[in-house]
Amino acid sequence: MVVAGSGDLGLSNAVTVLGWARVQSRGGEGTIVSQWSAEGREGSFWLGMTNGVAAFTVVIEGVVVPVVGNAELVEKRWHLVAGVYDGEWVRLYVDGSLEAEVRAEGPVRQVTAPVMIGGWLLILNKVGAGRWMRCGCAGAVCLRRN
């Protein structure tokens, strides 16, 4: 779902995004909540799942800063996933536990792309051809300018 009128969020030096997510199947990449262009050229943040684990990416001063979790998300079970950038650290939490963190400083990139809740999963086969399928469920999403 695209959130209409959400292009200018006024993010500056901090952002917190979280959402409940239910993994339907493993593999590929799926969005919980993001502010990223459909073409993938520009963005501020992305919170989602990649290859069965949670991940959070924030763009700081034009540099893409990713953090990826370690624990595999249990299929067909709801998980609370949160990405936090406080101006000094980019952190990823799953079900209340810190999964990963990396030090980073600077302002969050400002973009006009709308916020997207939920998304699609690209499944690639052995020869690199792919197909898109719905990526689980996302619900109760929250975005906060810190």
Q: What is the pLDDT of residue 20?
A: 83
**pTM recorded for the entire structure:** 0.79
Q: What is the pLDDT of residue 41?
A: 67
% of the chain beyond a pLDDT of 70: 66
What is the per-residue DSSP string for 39-83?
TSS-EEEEEEEETTEEEEEEEETTEEEEEE-SSPPPTTSEEEEEE
Q: What does the pLDDT look like over 89-106, one tens digit per residue?
A: 999 999 999 999 999 999
Q: What does the pLDDT look like over 4-48, one tens digit per residue?
A: 445 555 667 888 888 888 776 666 567 888 887 665 667 888 898
Pick the CATH number of 2-141 from 3.40.50.11610, 3.10.20.30, 2.60.120.200, 2.40.110.10: 2.60.120.200
- What residues does each domain of the chain span? 2-141
- The whole-number average pLDDT for the span 58-74 is 91
CB 14 within 8 A of CB 145: yes
**Has residue 144 got a pLDDT over 60?**
no
